[in-house]
């Protein structure tokens, strides 16, 4: 997935969530851990500023969840799998690294 596609996923999720007054979150489970992902207008602004998919995923997860993910000695393959799950959960149907 390109960074532009990641940004489109955030915008698309924002359009879907536009009628909600509650914060919009989805849960992504990977290797026994559950990550809470803010979507739509509740996604962090850093996602739009990201210059790479890697930076976008870090912004989406936020510092605490990113540190938690990293603390378990994940591999590049793990990052790719998690990022695919994240972008799919945000509504990006062609997620791929």
Supply the Cα-derived Rg of the chain in whole angstroms. Answer: 12
pTM of the shown model: 0.70
Domain boundaries, the chain: 3-89
The predicted structure's pLDDT at residue 3: 60
Write out pLDDT tens, residues 17-41.
455 556 588 999 999 999 999 888 8
Higher pLDDT, 14 or 33: 33
Q: Which DSSP helix (H) or strand (E) runs through 15? A: helix 3-17
């Amino acid at each position: 997935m390109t960074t532009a596609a990641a940004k489109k996923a955030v915008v698309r999720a924002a359009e879907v969530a536009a009628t909600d007054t509650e914060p919009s979150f989805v849960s992504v489970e990977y290797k026994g851990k559950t990550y809470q992902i803010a979507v739509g207008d509740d996604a962090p602004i850093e996602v739009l500023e990201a210059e790479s998919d890697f930076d976008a995923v870090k912004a989406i997860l936020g510092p605490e969840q990113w540190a938690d993910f990293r603390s378990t000695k994940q591999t590049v393959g793990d990052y790719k799998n998690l990022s695919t799950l994240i972008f799919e959960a945000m509504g990006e149907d062609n997620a791929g690294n």
